[in-house]
Amino acid sequence: MKLLRTFLPLALAWGLTSCFSPASPAPASSSSKTVSSTSSIAHGADISWLTQLEALGSTWVNASGTVTDAVTLLQNFGVDSIRLRVMVNPGSTNYEVLSGTTVTGYLGYCDQAGVVTLAQRCASLGITKFLIDFHFSDTWASDENQAPPAAWAGYSLAQLQTAVSNHVTSVLTALKTAGITPTWVQLGNEITDGILFGTSGTGYVTGTTGWANLAALLNAGYAAVKAVDSSALVILHLDKGGENAQYEWWFDNYKAAGGKWDVVGMSFYPYWQPSDTVAMLLANMNDMVSRYGKPVMVCEVGGLYSNPSATQTLLTNVKTAVASVTGGNGLGVFYWEPESNPAVFTNYSLGAAQVVSGYRAQFTSALQGFNQ
């Protein structure tokens, strides 16, 4: 998530780090087949901030002004899939948030127990498709920010492989015990530069170096996912979804190192990369399908909450592009944190909620992009 370069210090201060299903992915097709309807792809939202925002007093209302579960409101916009991030051992320091309100740490929002609870809540409302996003860190991991969990500091490569495997196994087993079987599992978040920086077994990559370590770490996670549920599809997720050269560099090197994955995941934020277009995104997705024989997923997308018309158009166009990927190999689109609003919630401007009064908000028309 590109906001980290400007937003991470604020997020840390606030404590806001809350938290097709075959056995193997569909092969790439050489045909020019396109999907005639976007209804076949996942219409998703990452709502990992939700329970923490609710603990701070936030609520969401329907068109009549009646307070309604935010998940239900999202479903009314066509959302049928939920993405949740999970960290290793989120801290328990007190943080002042929202102009004087004090909360205690991250626990219960992005740890294993909090993710299970929020997933159960979504399932009780009819959500059946989940994407679990592993941040291999105690805090937010994204592109160049990949701090290792404190408990893993100084670990060797072999120790880190075991730690990754055990963590993935623990979370997915807890979810399975609770009746939640994720459709997709994302190993690392925007891992363009790798994972677990600063450890002796670091997964940092640059140029053509570091790939053996990174492949060993992610393969440990891959094996753990498949041991819990062989049908879950493993996503590896990079930023800048319109930039094809970056994706070819990354996946060429990762594949050469023996790395395993099922789905190419992308973030797409023209707000952060103004020169990137939906046409560039589609060309990149089609290249990933033809080059590696893997389906693709837009794991994060968003636009300015203050311009819902433009954001609706962006969402519609991205959804249409994913549905038109060669051979039906576009799996879905996830809007990142639509429940947020910068005025009173998270200082993040690419959500899709507007303030009604106080800590009460209403989703904007941007999300109608899912229904078009």
Domain, as residue range, for 24: 4-370
pLDDT of residue 131: 99
Residue 48 tokens read as 């990992």
Mean pLDDT calculated for residue range 5-31: 37
Name residues whose C-beta falls within 8 Å of residue 244's C-beta, 6 or more positions apart in sequence.
Answer: 280, 283, 284, 287
The Cα–Cα gap between 197 and 137 comes to 10
Q: How confident is the model at residue 119 (pLDDT cuts 50, 70, 90)?
A: very high
The radius of gyration of the chain's CA atoms, rounded to the nearest angstrom, is 19
Residue 291 tokens read as 């080059």
Q: Contact, 335 vs 45, CB < 8 A?
A: yes
CA 235 to chain centre: 10
Q: Which string of b and e fits 142-177 if b means at least 16 CB within 10 Å? A: bbebbbbbeebeebebeebbebbbebbbebbebbee
pLDDT of residue 7: 41
Would you say residue 14 has pLDDT above 60? no
Q: What is the DSSP letter of 308?
A: H
Q: What is the DSSP letter of 180?
A: -
Q: How do the residues of the chain divide into helix, strand and coil, expressed in percent and rounded to 5?
A: 35, 20, 45
pLDDT of residue 266: 98
Q: For 154-170, how does the pLDDT look when each residue is reduced to its tens digit (9 = 90+)?
A: 999 999 999 999 999 99
Would you say residue 34 has pLDDT above 60? no
pLDDT of residue 130: 98
Q: How confident is the model at residue 6 (pLDDT cuts 50, 70, 90)?
A: very low
Supply angle C-alpha 137, 210, 168, rounded to 5.
Answer: 35
Q: Which of 20-34, 111-125, 192-206, 245-259 shows the lowest mean pLDDT across its residues?
A: 20-34
Q: For 93-107, how does the pLDDT look when each residue is reduced to its tens digit (9 = 90+)?
A: 544 455 456 555 555
| Mean pLDDT over the full length of the chain | 88
The Cα–Cα gap between 343 and 363 comes to 14
Q: How confident is the model at residue 200 (pLDDT cuts 50, 70, 90)?
A: confident
Would you say residue 254 has pLDDT above 70? yes
Q: What is the pTM of this model?
A: 0.90
Would you say residue 1 has pLDDT above 80? no
pLDDT of residue 101: 60
Query: What domain count does the chain have?
Result: 1
Residue 59 tokens read as 């609520």
**Nearest residue to 250 (alpha-carbon basis) of 318, 203, 297, 298:** 203
With H, G, I as helix, E, B as strand and everything else as coil, classify residue 46.
strand
pLDDT of residue 52: 85
Q: For 317-366, how does the pLDDT look when each residue is reduced to its tens digit (9 = 90+)?
A: 999 999 999 999 999 999 999 999 987 666 789 999 999 998 899 999 99
pLDDT of residue 161: 98
Q: How confident is the model at residue 247 (pLDDT cuts 50, 70, 90)?
A: very high
Q: What is the DSSP letter of 97?
A: E
Would you say residue 35 has pLDDT above 80? no
Would you say residue 90 has pLDDT above 70? yes
Between 10 and 200, name the one with better pLDDT: 200
- Kindly state the percentage of the chain with pLDDT values over 70: 85
Residue 372 tokens read as 């078009």
Mean pLDDT calculated for residue range 286-302: 98
Q: What is the DSSP letter of 339?
A: T
pLDDT of residue 22: 32
Residue 233 tokens read as 């599809």
Mean pLDDT calculated for residue range 188-195: 98
For CA atoms 273, 281, 21, 146, the dihedral sign is: negative
Tell me the residue ranges of DSSP E strands in 276-322: 296-301
Q: How many CA atoms lie within 13 A of 10 on its CB side?
A: 12
Q: Which of 95-109, 193-207, 217-231 shows the lowest mean pLDDT across its residues?
A: 95-109
CA dihedral 80, 81, 82, 86 (to 10 degrees): 170
CATH of the domain at 99: 3.20.20.80
Q: Contact, 364 vs 335, CB < 8 A?
A: no
pLDDT of residue 198: 87
